[in-house]
Amino acid sequence: MDANGHANGSSPHEVREHDVLIIGAGGAGLRAAVAATERGLSVGVVTKSLLGKAHTVMAEGGIAASLGNVDPADGWQTHFKDTLKSGKFINNWRMAELFSKEAPDRVYELEQWGALFNRTAEGKISQRPFGAHTYRRLCHVGDRTGLELIRTMQEKVLATDTQVYMETAVTKLFKNSEGRVVGALAYTRETGKFIHFKTKAVVLATGGWGRIYKVTSNSWEGTGDGAVLAYDAGAELVDMEMVQFHPTGMVWPPGVRGLLVTEGVRGEGGLLRNSKGERYMERYDKERMELSSRDVVARANYTEVQEGRGSPHGGVFLDITHLGYRGIMKKLPTMHEQFLKLADIDISKEPMEVFPTIHYTMGGVKVDPETCATNVPGLFAAGEVAGGLHGANRLGGNSLSDLLVFGRRAGMGAAEYVKSNGYSTEIREEELNAEKKRVMAPLEKREGENPYKIQQELQETMMEHANLMRNEDSLKEGLGKVLALKDRLPNIGVGGSTLFNPGWHTAQDVRHLIQISEIIIRCALERTERRGAQWRLDYDGPDEELGRVNLISKKDQQGEVGIEKREIPPMPEHLAKLFEEGE
Amino acid sequence: MSDSAAEQKGMASKAHAEVHSDEEATLEGKSYRLKIFRGDAEGGKEVEYEIEAIEGMVVLDAVLKIQAEQANDLAVRWNCKAAHCGSCSAEINGRPKLLCKTRVEEYEGQEIRVHPIRAFPVIKDLVSDVSWNYGVSAQIQPFTTSEQAPFTMYEEDVERLYEPKKCIECFMCQDVCHVLRTHHKHPEFAGPRFFVRSQWLEMHPKDEGNRLQFLKEGRGGVQLCNITKCCSEVCPVGIHITDNSIIPLKERVADEYYDPAKWLMRKIRGRRNGSSNGNGGTRSTHARAGIRTNG
C-alpha cells in the first residue's frame, strides 16, 4: 500500500487508495461517507480536526424540515417557497425542490440512527419557529442540535468500514490525462507526513470560509479549502459575493466577539431593543419583527448601532428574560452557560448585547442538483462549500438539512460515477513533487513574514471593505489590499519542524483565504444591486436584470478570476404555480 | 451612545457600565504571564510568555495570542471557542480545563501553568494523542432497533437521555480517571466517556442492543471504577457521570451477572437472555472504522 517519492530527493509520501475520498467530516462529509460505503465502495474521509469537532457542532437552533408535527399545514411546498423568497429568487430552484422534499426523510433517518429530539405532547419530534419560516419547522434538541447531528453521524460512520484520517489537510487535487480528478495530496497535522490519495472520485465537504473576516462565528477550520481546491481544478463557483451576517453574535468581552447567539433565542420569543428601549424591528419589518430573515435583522442591528442607538459595547439588546430561569434552562441552556461563564451575564435576569457576526457563505462550488457533481469530472461537492441552494440569503435551520440531503446525494452521485467509469488514477510524478515542494516552502524559508500577521491583515481588510454594507470605491480599495497580500504570500516563513506546527498549517490556509477574498470582492463589484446579503449602498434596490442571473466565477486561461453572468433557467410550471396560488 | 436612556430602562448591565471599544479593551499596562509546556513525546519544559492583558480574556485567547505573536509553532487544539466542541482540553495548574471557557482572571495572583492532558501520550506542546478514544467508541454496539422511525416517544421516556447526550467529548473525564491516568488500564477499561455513551444507548426506549457483556467481560471494564467521582467533577457540561451513568450501569451489570437465576439462564442459553434481536451474546461489535491520527 505504501510507496514513497524518495527517488529524486523530495519529501517522502505514503500512498492510500480509495474509491471515493471525502474531504471534510462535518454533517455533509459524514452523510456522503455513509451513502458511498453503503454502496460497497472503499471510502476515505479526511478531516483537519478530530472526528466530531466539525463546525456542524456549532449549529444550535435546529434542523428545518416540514414534518408538520406542530403546524399540520406545513409541507414541502411552503418550505420551498420560504427558501426561495429568502434567497431572493437566485437560488437553484431544483436544489430547493429536492431539499424541501427530502429534508423530512433525513430527519427521520437521524432518529432511526439514534438522534434524540425534543418531543411534542403527542410524542412526536417538536418543532420551533425560526426567522422567515412560515410555520414552526425546526426540529431541535435544546440549543445543541448540531452536536446531536454530528455525534449521530460520527457514531454511524464509526460502525462502517469507512477509513477516517483525522487531523489531515488536503492541499491540491490531481487530474489524470483525461481531465478527471483522480487524487489529492494531503499532509498530516501531527507529523507533516505527506499522503498521496489515489481515488476515483472526490467529494468536497469542507464547509465555508468565515475566517476571511475578523468577527466571525466560524472556527479556525473555516478557511474555504474546498472552494479553492475546486477553483484550482477548474470548477465553477456560484454567487460568491453572498456571505451571511448572522444578526446576533456576542460583542463582549473582546475575546468572544462574534461568537454565535442562536436564532433560537428569537425563536423562543427574544426581543430586540436599542438603547432607547425601542423595539426597532417595527421600523424594518413590521410584520415579522424579530423573526424577519437574517439579512434584514442583521442590517437593522447594524443600522441602530451606526445611528447611535447602540448598547454600551456597541451592540443592541436581546432580551429573553420573560422565559424565566426554568424556561431558559429547558430551551436555551447552552446560551445561559455561555453568557454566564464568558460575559458574567445571567440571561434570565438581564438582556444580552449582540451585533452581527459573519456566519455562513451562501456562495460556493456550483453543482448538479441531482448528483452534486461539479463541471470537473470526478469532483463532487455538498454542504456549505457548495452553492446554489440558499441564493442570496440562507434561512436559519436550512443548513443542517442541506448537509444531510446533499451529503447523501453527493455520496450516491460519486458512487454511481465510480461504478460507471474505468480509468487510470496515475498522475505525473513531477506534479506530485512540485506540490510537495510548494507546501514545504514556508518551512524551508524559515525567516520570513508571519502567516498570522498576513491572515490578520486580510481579516481586517475584509471587515473594512466587504462587510454587510458595500460600495464600489471601498470594494476596489479592498481588492487592492487583498492583491497586495497575495503578492506577499511567497515571503511567508515559519520556524519549527513539521511536527504539529500550526504556523506552517496557517501558511497553507492563508493562501486559500486570500484567493476566496479576491473572488468575493470581484463578484461583489459585479453585482451592482441590493439583494439579500449583497447590499450595495451605491445602488438603490434590487435590479431586475441581475435578479435573473447567477454570477459564475472560474479560473480563466490566464489564471485570473473570470466572472460570467449566467441566466437562471425559468422555473418549471409545477414550481412556478406555487407562487401564484398563495400570493 | 445614550447610556442614561439604557439605564433608565434598567438595561445597562452591571458588568459594563462604561463604554468600551475594541482598542480600549486592553487593560492599560497590565500583562499576564503564562508558563506553557513546550515539548513532545521525548520530553520538554515550561516556557514563560508574557502578553498584554485584554479584558475578559480566556486562557485560549492568551495561548492563541502567544502563538500569533511570539511562537507560531506552538501546538494547541481548538475549534468552536464556545465550549461546544471539546477540542481545547488541557491542564491548567494540574487541573483539566477547557481553555476556551477558563478566564485568565480566575488565576489572579497565581501562576498559570498550562500543560497537555496527561492520560494520553503527548504529541507536541498542548496536544495529546486522543485517538485511543475513537477506537474504544467503535467497539460499542451502536444504536440498534428493529422499529422504523418516526418513533413515538414522550418527553418522560427520553428526559434522562438528554444529560448523557450533552457530552462534547473533551475527554477530560478520561484524563482525571485514576484507572486510566494512574493505573494505565487502557486495554481493559473504556473510561467514563464511554460509560456515558453506553448509558444513553442502554436507556433509549427504542434500543434493542445489549452492552452489558461489553461493559463486564469486554473491554468496558466498568467494575474497575471505584466511584471516586473525579470524572463528574471535571465535566464541563455538568453530566453527573458517576451517579447517572456509571452507577446505573454497574447495577445493570450486577443484576445480569450476579442474580443467581439470571446466572443460571445465561449458562443454559448462552451469554445473554432476553435478547430480542436474535444476536444473543455472541455478537461482536469490533472496531470496524479505521481511525488514523498519527504519522
Q: How far is A191 from chain B (nearest CA, A)?
A: 5
B158:A190 CB<8 A: no
| Inter-chain residue contact B165 with A116, CB threshold 8 Å | yes
- pLDDT for residue B261: 82
The CB-based long-range contact list for A548-551 (8 Å cut-off, 24+ gap) reads A549/A90, A550/A90, A550/A238, A550/A239, A550/A366, A550/A388, A551/A238, A551/A239, A551/A240, A551/A241, A551/A523, A551/A526, A551/A527
> Does residue B282 have a pLDDT over 70?
no
The CA-based diameter of chain B, rounded to the nearest angstrom, is 80
Give the A:B interface size as CB pairs under 8 Å: 275
Average pLDDT over residues A472-485: 98
Q: How high is the pLDDT of residue B288?
A: 41
Q: How confident is the model at residue B277 (pLDDT cuts 50, 70, 90)?
A: very low
Task: Name the band, by pLDDT with cuts 50, 70 and 90, for residue B263.
Answer: confident
Q: Please, which pLDDT band fits residue B6 given cuts at 50, 70 and 90?
A: very low
Mean pLDDT of A396-415: 98
> What is the set of domains in chain B, with CATH numbers?
25-128 (3.10.20.30), 131-269 (1.10.1060.10)
> SS3 sequence, A310-364?
CCCCCCEEEECHHHHHHHHHHHCHHHHHHHHHHHCCCCCCCCEEEEEEEEEECCE
Q: Is the pLDDT of residue A367 over 80?
A: yes
Q: Pick the more confident residue, A341 or A382.
A: A382
Domain ranges of chain A: 249-356, 437-544
Residue A197: which H helix or E strand, with range? strand A194-204
Q: pLDDT > 90: what percent of chain A?
A: 93
Q: What is the mean pLDDT of chain A?
A: 95
> Looking at residues A155-169, what average pLDDT do you find?
96
Most A CBs within 10 A among B73, B103, B214, hence the mutation to make, goes to: B73
Q: Is A311 at the interface with chain B, CB within 8 A?
A: yes
- Residue A152 sits at the vertex; the CA angle it makes with B217 and B287, to the nearest 5 degrees, is 40
Residue A3 has pLDDT above 70, yes or no: no
- Confirm if A149 and A164 have CB atoms less than 8 A apart: no
At residue B24, does pLDDT exceed 70? no
The DSSP output letter for A276 is: T
- Number of Cα atoms under 13 Å in the Cβ half of residue B66: 25
Residue contact A147–B68, C-beta within 8 A: no
- SS3 state at A383: helix
A451 interface with B at CB cutoff 8 Å: yes
Q: What is the pLDDT of residues A316-326, one digit of tens each?
A: 999 999 999 99
- Report, as an integer, the average pLDDT of B3-13: 37
Q: Which of residues 22-61 of B touch A (CB under 8 A)?
A: 22, 25, 40, 54-58, 60-61
Q: Among 3.60.15.10, 3.40.30.110, 3.40.50.300, 3.90.700.10, what is the CATH number of A249-356? A: 3.90.700.10
Mean pLDDT calculated for residue range A22-51: 98
A180 secondary structure, DSSP code: -
Q: A183-197, A198-212, B259-273 — which is least confidently predicted? A: B259-273
Q: Of A211, A246, A512, A522, which is the active-site residue? A: A246
Closest CA to B32 of B8, B55, B7: B55
CA distance to A103, A157, B33, B168, per residue, from A76 (Å)? 9, 29, 57, 33
Q: State how far residue B214 is from chain A, nearest Cα, in angstroms.
A: 16
Q: What pLDDT is attached to residue B289?
A: 44
Residue A577 pLDDT grade (very low, low, confident, very high; cuts 50, 70, 90): very high
A180 is an active site residue: no
Burial A220-234 (b: 16+ CB within 10 A, else e): bbbbbbbbbbbbebb
- Residue A195 CA to residue A165 CA, distance in Å, equals 10
pLDDT(A417) > 70: yes
- Calculate the dihedral angle through the C-alpha atoms of B266, B269, B275, B279, rounding to the nearest 10 degrees: 120
Residues of B in contact with A118 (CB under 8 A): 155
From the candidates A38, A112, A280, A445, which should be mutated to test the interface with B, based on the most B CB atoms within 10 A? A112
> Which ipTM value was assigned to this complex?
0.94
Which residues does A327 contact at the CB level (< 8 Å), separation at least 6? A268
Looking up cell 464556545 gives: B82
Annotated catalytic residue: which of A31, A79, A189, A266? A266
Nearest chain A residue to B104 by CA: give it.
A342
Q: What is the mean pLDDT of residues A263-270?
A: 94
Chain A contact for B263 (CB, 8 A cutoff): no
Is A139 touching B (CB cutoff 8 A)?
no
Closest to B167 (Cα-Cα) out of B202, B132, B198: B198
The mean per-residue pLDDT over the stretch A55-73 comes to 95
Helix (H, G, I), strand (E, B) or coil at A62: coil
Q: Which residue has the higher pLDDT, A348 or B274?
A: A348
**Touching check for A190 and chain B: CB below 8 Å?**
yes
Question: Does A17 reach chain B within 8 Å, measured CB to CB?
Answer: no
Contact call for B142 and A55, based on CB within 8 A: no
What is the average pLDDT value for chain B, to the nearest integer?
Answer: 85
Of A522, B67, A579, which Cα lies nearest the Cα of B76?
Answer: B67
pLDDT digits (tens, 9 = 90+) for B71-109: 999 999 999 999 999 999 999 999 999 999 999 999 999
A499-514 per-position pLDDT tens digit: 999 999 999 999 999 9
pLDDT digits over A238-247, tens only?
Answer: 999 999 999 9
The amino acid that residue A447 corresponds to is E
CA atoms within 13 A on the CB side of B58: 23
Q: Is B166 close to A144, i.e. CB distance below 8 A?
A: yes
Q: DSSP label at B244? A: I
Interchain proximity B82–A338, CB inside 8 Å? yes
Chain centroid, CA A290 distance in Å: 24
Of A202 and B274, which is predicted with more confidence? A202
Does the pLDDT at position A564 exceed 90? yes
Contact predicate A312/B17, CB 8 Å: yes
Contact call for residues A239 and A362 (beta carbons, < 8 A): yes
Interface touch A500/B153, C-beta < 8 Å: no
Q: Residue A12: what pLDDT?
A: 92
Question: What pLDDT, on the 0 to 100 scale, is given for residue A18?
Answer: 97
Within 8 A of B204 by CB-CB distance, chain A residues are 114, 116
Cα nearest neighbour of A214 on chain B: B22
Do A119 and B79 count as a contact with CB atoms less than 8 A apart? no
pLDDT of B122 above 90: yes
Interface test with B, best of A51, A221, A223 (most B CBs within 10 A): A51
Burial of A55 (0-12, 13-18, 19+ CB in 10 A): buried
Which helix H or strand E contains A296, and what residues bound it?
helix A294-306
pLDDT band of B268, cuts 50, 70, 90: confident
Q: Cα separation of A576 and A505, whole Å?
A: 48
Q: Which long-range contacts (CB under 8 A, 24 or more apart) does B44-49 make?
A: B44/B122, B44/B125, B46/B113, B47/B71
Residue B179 near chain A (CB below 8 Å):
no
Mean pLDDT over B215-223 rounds to: 93
pLDDT digit string (tens) for A277-303? 999 999 999 999 999 999 999 999 999
Give me the pLDDT at residue B290, please.
Answer: 52
CA A133 to chain centre: 20
Q: Is A246 a catalytic residue?
A: yes
Task: Count the neighbouring beta carbons within 10 Å of the beta carbon of residue A496.
Answer: 18
> At CA A223, angle to CA A44 and CA A52, rounded to 5?
45
Please give the average per-residue pLDDT across A346-359, as a whole number. Answer: 96
Q: Is the pLDDT of residue A4 over 70?
A: no
The C-alpha atoms of residue A54 and residue A385 are separated, in whole angstroms, by: 13
- So what's the pLDDT on residue B25? 67
Cβ contacts of B60 on chain A, cutoff 8 Å:
255
Which of A108, A123, A164 is nearest residue B152 as measured by Cβ atoms? A123
Whole-Å CA distances, A327 to A346, B101, B237 = 13, 24, 18
Given a cut of 80, is residue A394 above it in pLDDT? yes
**pLDDT band for position B18 (50/70/90)?**
very low
- Architecture of domain A437-544 in CATH? Up-down Bundle (1.20)
CA distance A17 to A1: 8
